[in-house]
Amino acid sequence: MRYVSTRGRAPALGFEAAMLAGLAGDGGLYVPERVPVLSPDAIAALAGLPYEKVAARILAPFLGEDLGGATLADDLAAAHAGFRHPARAPLVQLGPGHFLLELHHGPTLAFKDFAMQVLGRLMDRALARAGRRATIVGATSGDTGSAAIEAFRGRDAVDVFILFPEGRVSEVQRRQMTTPAEANVHAIALRGDFDACQARVKDLFNDHAFRDEVGLAAVNSINLARVLVQTVYYFAAAVALGAPHRPVAFTVPTGNFGDVQAGAVARAMGLPISRLVIATNQNDILDRCLATGIYAPRPVRPSQSPSMDIQVASNFERALHDATGGDAAQVAAMMAALAAEGRFAVPARALAALRGVFASGRASESETTATIARIHAATGILLCPHSAVAVMVASEHLGREPMVTLATAHPAKFPDAVAAATGIRPALPARLAGILAKAERVSVLDDDAGALKALIRERIAR
């Protein structure tokens, strides 16, 4: 299996190299040259299998000879051992024809654990085979950083540095990053906002001498491996509801477009997904783009669902690549227009192709709060604000097929929003409550690339 850049000007790579590279050399994202298609019989045969077995069948063709085989089964077993629910991604029914796919039973209580736990093991193995170490540096508004630290703590071949904006993540999110005691974990509170954190990480990747010196690697959601691993729960859920014999629709709370793009890959692999509904909060660039064909970022307005407070949805580039039939020149032209003019128009044929796969909707702040309250009153279920955005949008798209709405985080990660809607402050699961008393370890840094490089050099020299 080969992976090509969405912009067509970087060499095609195998899975292992594409995973380690993160971003392609031409600024594009890696996508499979040809998506493997599963026959209806092969999809039907997934029914009743344990989640890890489903994962092995879905991922094996993508990994090819690089990292597949017997060890993949071990990696997948270990990756899911820390989930608190035996189904890993259980479905619960919200109402007639409407189901919630709970993706928050992993160690850091957000769906990012699914891909990150697998990525941590695959990367460690790839690095060991290559006899090298890597330095992972990432910026987070909360959930990605904690999932990355949880996945990479104590691994031999990596150091993991996570930058978060000082004072702007919740206490639970901060403590998930600052309490791990392993020497390869480095939490950094940056004196700046999330954009500053992202900008400093970009500085490091753009300093090619430094990048090679420390072996920089990226685990943010543009990493190909994360998108591919996330296809697994689409298969598991759809098969549980009758696929391949019955089509299923999904609604996905969307920020950087990684999660919903995984659904598009599953659909391309032959899973009968009738529609993928993109749910956005008040930062509704994707909903506007689908409606008008114009992709035009506006300033981010902070919301109760901070992991969706994004206006440049990096993974949308993969959907554009699909929608143009793999026309890398068209994709590169759109991205060049975005960089030069701050917006671009989706060509008419590509827009029609997008609308054939995706629908969209938005939920305002008050609609989000009202949805948390309404679902709690009707079912007793507490939704996190991201999941509530999706449930609100999904309820406007219910149709003949069963609708599966992705619940991306546990309500206890966002207790203020949940309490404001219901009066109930959800408690952390017992195994996480310990972090509230543990000692914290964090480096506070000025918003300065030089200081960041110095800290990284000093820490990896240990």
Ligand X SMILES: *Cc1c(COP(=O)(O)O)cnc(C)c1O
Please list the active-site residues. Answer: 112
* Rounded distance between C-alpha atoms, residue 305 and residue 388, angstroms: 9
Binds ligand X (CB under 6 A): choice among 138, 145, 255, 415 = 255
Compute the half-sphere exposure of residue 214: CA atoms within 13 Å on the CB side of its CA: 26
Coil, strand, or helix at residue 362?
A: strand
Question: Residue 110 interacts with ligand X (CB under 6 A)?
Answer: yes
For residue 385, the minimal CB distance to ligand X (Å) is: 8
Binds ligand X (CB under 6 A): choice among 152, 250, 257, 344 = 257
* Residues between 427 and 456 with contacts to ligand X, criterion CB under 6 A: none
Task: Tell me the pairing of strands 403-407 and 185-191.
Answer: unpaired
Encoded one letter per residue, x for contact with ligand X by CB under 6 A and - for no contact, window 311-350 reads ----------------------------------------
Query: Measuring CA to CA, which residue among 369, 364, 396, 397 is closest to residue 382?
Result: 369
* Rounded distance between C-alpha atoms, residue 56 and residue 290, angstroms: 34
Which amino acid is located at 382 in the chain?
L
Binds ligand X (CB under 6 A): choice among 102, 259, 284, 317 = 259
Question: Residue 362 interacts with ligand X (CB under 6 A)?
Answer: no
Binds ligand X (CB under 6 A): choice among 16, 143, 159, 287 = 143
Binds ligand X (CB under 6 A): choice among 28, 120, 138, 253 = 253
Token pair of 58, please? 């879905």
Longest Cα–Cα distance of the chain, Å, equals 59
Nearer to ligand X, 103 or 157 (CB): 103
Question: Residue 371 interacts with ligand X (CB under 6 A)?
Answer: no
Nearer to ligand X, 66 or 317 (CB): 317
- Scanning 6-14, 84-92, 255-263, 349-357 for contacts with ligand X by CB under 6 A, the matching segment is 255-263
Nearer to ligand X, 72 or 421 (CB): 421
For residue 364, the minimal CB distance to ligand X (Å) is: 17
Question: Residue 173 interacts with ligand X (CB under 6 A)?
Answer: no
Strand partners, 162: 138, 187
Contact 277, 252 (CB under 8 A): yes
* Rounded distance between C-alpha atoms, residue 108 and residue 114, angstroms: 10
For residue 422, the minimal CB distance to ligand X (Å) is: 18
Tokens 């344990």: give the residue.
Answer: 50
Cα 16 to chain centroid, rounded: 19
Nearer to ligand X, 43 or 418 (CB): 418
For residue 165, the minimal CB distance to ligand X (Å) is: 16
Encoded one letter per residue, x for contact with ligand X by CB under 6 A and - for no contact, window 373-392 reads -------------x------
Cα 249 to chain centroid, rounded: 19
Contact 180, 155 (CB under 8 A): no
Instruction: Find the Cα–Cα–Cα–Cα dihedral 260, 262, 268, 269, rounded to 10°.
Output: -150
* Residues between 39 and 98 with contacts to ligand X, criterion CB under 6 A: none
* Residues between 183 and 222 with contacts to ligand X, criterion CB under 6 A: 221
Binds ligand X (CB under 6 A): choice among 108, 223, 256, 330 = 256
Nearer to ligand X, 187 or 456 (CB): 187
For residue 170, the minimal CB distance to ligand X (Å) is: 12
Which residues contact residue 53 at a Cβ distance below 8 angstroms, ignoring those fewer than 6 apart? Answer: none
For residue 109, the minimal CB distance to ligand X (Å) is: 9
Query: Measuring CA to CA, which residue among 114, 152, 113 is closest to residue 133?
Result: 152
Question: Residue 308 interacts with ligand X (CB under 6 A)?
Answer: yes
Size of the site for ligand X (CB under 6 A): 16
Question: Residue 307 interacts with ligand X (CB under 6 A)?
Answer: yes
For residue 49, the minimal CB distance to ligand X (Å) is: 25
Strand partners, 249: 275, 403
* Rounded distance between C-alpha atoms, residue 370 and residue 392, angstroms: 9
* Rounded distance between C-alpha atoms, residue 131 and residue 285, angstroms: 43
Question: Residue 112 interacts with ligand X (CB under 6 A)?
Answer: yes
Nearer to ligand X, 115 or 452 (CB): 115
Query: Measuring CA to CA, which residue among 212, 218, 198 is closest to residue 447?
Result: 198
Which amino acid is located at 111 in the chain?
F
Residues that bind ligand X (CB under 6 A): 110, 112, 143, 221, 253-259, 307-308, 386, 408-409
